[in-house]
Amino acid sequence: MKLTIFGANGPTGQLLTRQALAEGHEVTAFTRHPDAFPAFGGSLRVLGGDVHDAHAVEAAVAGQDAVVSTLGVPFGRDPVTVYSHGVPNMIEGMARNGVKRLVCVSSSTMSPPPEPQGGLIFRKVMQPYVVNVLGRTVYEDMRRMEDTVRQSDVDWTIVRPSGLFGADTVTDYRLAEDHILGRFTAREDLADCLLRQVGDRTYVDKAVAVATVAIKPNMLTLIWREGIRKKS
């Protein structure tokens, strides 16, 4: 299968690229920094560009079987448009080239589970601070992206991980439609989930939540590495 991966030079994008190549797929890695992309070998094509550039995006999706967005933006106070501009550019490019399958990363904050998760400090202090302060502009743009994807004519799947962290390998992770009980998702599990969704129609035109249950990171360490430290 021919796949274009946007955000390919990010931590999840690199994992997904490596996994896809290992399974024999032809990968087009789209990144703003092509010179810094690892030489993974295999059937890999690296394209430089910005997802705000509709022409560059269309060139990357032409002739492909599926498109996967692993776009990620660090937390900050500035307005974010990467998701709400980049993914619509992908959808438009796909429509002009007859590409139907889109899998994109969002966040569990878009549809949190109805059951309380974590202790009192997590629910009342840490989670609201991350969602409403640290990551407010990122999550606002993710929501705009989800609205656009849902209104599109492509065969879409929105993948919603929880707090992302690094692990050593893919684990026996869990999936559920819309939301799932689970505060963490290993990037290795997220990448594997994205690759599986490309060829699986179970969650076409649906959102699927993914959670890692075998291992759990320290919450304060996760917030520092995934949110605060990335701003520097």
Residue 112: band (very low, low, confident or very high) from pLDDT cuts 50, 70, 90: low
117-143: pLDDT as tens digits: 555 445 544 554 455 545 568 889 999
Range of the domain at 122: 2-231
Nearest to 166 by CA among 228, 108, 211, 222: 222
- Confidence label for 18 from pLDDT (cuts 50, 70 and 90): very high
What is the domain-level CATH number for residue 76? Answer: 3.40.50.720
Q: What is the pLDDT of residue 38?
A: 93
Q: Model confidence over 48-67: pLDDT tens digits?
A: 999 999 999 999 999 999 99
Mean of per-residue pLDDT scores for the chain: 87
pLDDT greater at residue 72 or residue 202:
202
- Total domains, the chain: 1
What's residue 229's pLDDT?
Answer: 44
Residue 89: its pLDDT value, please? 98
- What pLDDT is stored for residue 75 in this prediction? 67
Kindly indicate the confidence band of residue 144, based on its pLDDT and cuts at 50, 70 and 90.
Answer: very high
- In which element (H, E) is residue 102 found? strand 101-105
pTM: 0.86
Query: 64 by DSSP, 3-state: which?
Result: coil
Could you give the percent of the chain with pLDDT greater than 70? Answer: 82
Task: Please state, in angstroms and as integers, the Cα–Cα distance from residue 18 to each residue in 8, 14, 82, 204, following that order.
Answer: 10, 6, 24, 24
Residue 116's pLDDT is what? 55
Q: Is the pLDDT of residue 228 over 70?
A: no
User: Is pLDDT above 50 for 114?
Assistant: yes
Mean pLDDT over 75-97 rounds to 92
Q: What is the pLDDT of residue 8?
A: 97
Smallest CA-to-CA distance from 106 within 64, 135, 133, 77 is with 135
Q: Which residues contact 103 (CB under 8 A, 6 or more apart)?
A: 66, 67, 68, 69, 156, 157, 159, 194, 197, 198
Residue 161, amino acid? P
- Rounded distance, CA 72 to CA 219, Å? 20
Looking at residue 189, its pLDDT comes to: 98
The pLDDT tens digits for 169-179 are: 999 999 999 98
| Residue at token pair 């997904």 | 16
* Residue 182 φ/ψ region, left for φ over 0, alpha for ψ in the -120 to 50 degree band, beta for the rest: left
